[in-house]
Amino acid sequence: MLVAFSVAPSGTGREDGSVHDAVAAAVTVVRESGLDHRTDAMFTTIEGPDWDTVMDVVKRATEAVAPFGSRVSLVLKADIRPGFEGELDGKLERLEAAIDAL
């Protein structure tokens, strides 16, 4: 399954509103999980074998953000497709092939 998520604190007290330190803490949890992942400007997407494995990483990443503010916001989108692996790259490869075929 693939899960794309974005987690950020609010109520940080920072004048510039930056949350990069908190996001760095969350991404560190993801990287240390050993799951395949990709981070872009808006989301981190992780791929894992099942709900429990993936949601454990999301939970720990969310908990890593908590000390940076008085609240935490979590946005999550999941692609649940049993029996498929390698979809973090596979979906993009199929998209590129479709674009090339146009």
Structural domains of the chain, count: 1
In the beta sheet, which residues pair with residue 8? 73
Q: Between the CA atoms of 77, 53, 35 and 99, what dihedral angle is there, to the nearest 10 degrees?
A: -30
The model's pLDDT over 46-79, given as tens digits with 9 standing for 90+, comes to: 999 999 999 999 999 999 999 998 899 999 999 9
Question: Could you tell me what percent of the chain has a pLDDT over 90?
Answer: 84
Largest CA distance in the chain: 50
- In the predicted structure, residue 17 carries a pLDDT above the cut 70: no
pTM: 0.89
Query: Domain with 35 in it: what CATH number?
Result: 3.30.70.930
Could you tell me the residue range of the domain that residue 35 belongs to? 2-101
